Every structure is written in C-alpha cells, then in structure tokens.
Homo-oligomer: A and B are copies of this chain.
Amino acid sequence: MSAPTTPGSAVADLLGLVALGELLAFERMAADARLAPDLRRRAALGEMAAAEIASYRRLADRLTALGVRPEDAMAPYVEALQAYHDSTQPRDWAEAVTKAYVGDAITDDFLRAITTALDEPDRCLVLDVLHESRYAEFAAAEIRSAVDADPRVAHRLSMWARRLVGEALSQANRVAAADRGALTALIAQGERVDVQALFRQLTAAHTQRMLAAGLNN
C-alpha cells in the first residue's frame, strides 16, 4: 500500500468496514442477550458482544493513527450493515446464538481472505481481531442443545441460517456496488480472491459449519 491513507483509500475503507461491523455486532449481540433463558447465558452473549467492541477499538485506533477519523471511514457502510441487522432480528435465544455463530464465522472468513491483500501492521491487526474459538464453541453448543431439546428446531434454525447468509451476501453486494472502487480493488488484489470466488468460498465454509452445529444448509 504505497498510496496515501486517506478516507477513500483502500486500507481506510477496509478498516472502516470491519470496524463498523464490529460496532454493530456488539450492539446487536448485547441487545439479543435479553433473549437468554438464564443469567449465565445472558452474560455469555454479553461477553461475546464485548469482544466485538474491543476489536472495534483496535481498528478505530489504527484508523486514527493513519490520520483518518473512524466515523468517516465507517460512514459509507452504515446503511448496508444496519439493514442486515434490521432484517435479521432473532425472535428467540436459539436464533440469537445462531446469528452470533454465523455472523462471527462469516466475518472471520472474510477477514482471513483479505489479509493476503494487506501489508503490515494492518495484516496482523486484522488477524488479531478474528474471533476467539471459545465463542464459536459456546454458540455451537447452544445450537446443538436447542436441537437436542426439540429436533424440529433444526429445520427452523437451518432456514434461519440460510436467511442470515442470504441477507449478508445481499448487503455485501450492496457494499461492493456502492464502493468507491478502492475496497473491491484491494480485495481482488489478494492472492486467491476475486469477489465472486470469495462469496463462493464463504458459502462453502458456512455449509461446513452448519453441519458441525447439527444443522443442514
């Protein structure tokens, strides 16, 4: 990245997108915690949420160090990310943990895919904000236990997860369409990724994860 880092530069765009994703994931998970059947689970989803905003802070600090106001870097993505969350409000605890599971995992796949296009220290930073596996394990265990308690739930959660991915990809397309060019150019610059291939890859990984949690894709 020898281009100057200003709002609209590829790195600022990318960090802004990831930062906003973390900020909104934090808010929604924190809100969804109210759906928990008990205080232990309520706190557990709250802690997953807190991990998101810790990552937000690191990304925002990096943007500031680059001379970019975090809110300027995030602004172009507010509508699409907000639309994703507004259209995927969980109705119960099983849907809430499924959303956290699916959302974190797709975010991580996306982050891993784009690291090849980044220089240090941004590459390490993005790898560092990958979600801790204990959160995914907690969410997958909750999904399995919901399915164990009532096998019919598997079908409903499978449909729900499909909708989550559909909405995520639809909003991702909207981000790509609205992009000022730098971001998609950066992503396409990665060794193995063009945007369509990235989408296919994210979808395949999602299928694997659904199976791991006892759901069909």
Contact = CB atoms under 8 A, between A and B. Distances in A.
Interface stretch (A26-34, A109-117, A130-138, A143-151): A26-34
Among A30, A40, A42, A71, the most chain B Cβ lie within 10 Å of the Cβ of A30
Given A50-B50, A53-B50, A42 B30 contact: no
A56 interface: yes
A162 to B, nearest CB: 28
Contacts of A70: 39-40, 43
Given A30-B26, A40-B70, A53 B60 contact: no
A17 interface: no
Interface residues of A, number: 28
A176 interface: no
B60 A56 contact: no
Nearest to A19: B43
A8 interface: no
A191 to B, nearest CB: 32
A39 B26 contact: no
Interface in A56-85: 56-57, 60, 69-71, 74-75, 78
B23 A42 contact: yes
Given A27-B30, A33-B27, A34-B27, A50 B39 contact: no
A49 interface: yes
A50 B54 contact: yes
The 8 closest A-B CB pairs, nearest first, are: A30-B30, A50-B50, A39-B71, A50-B53, A46-B53, A40-B71, A26-B46, A23-B43
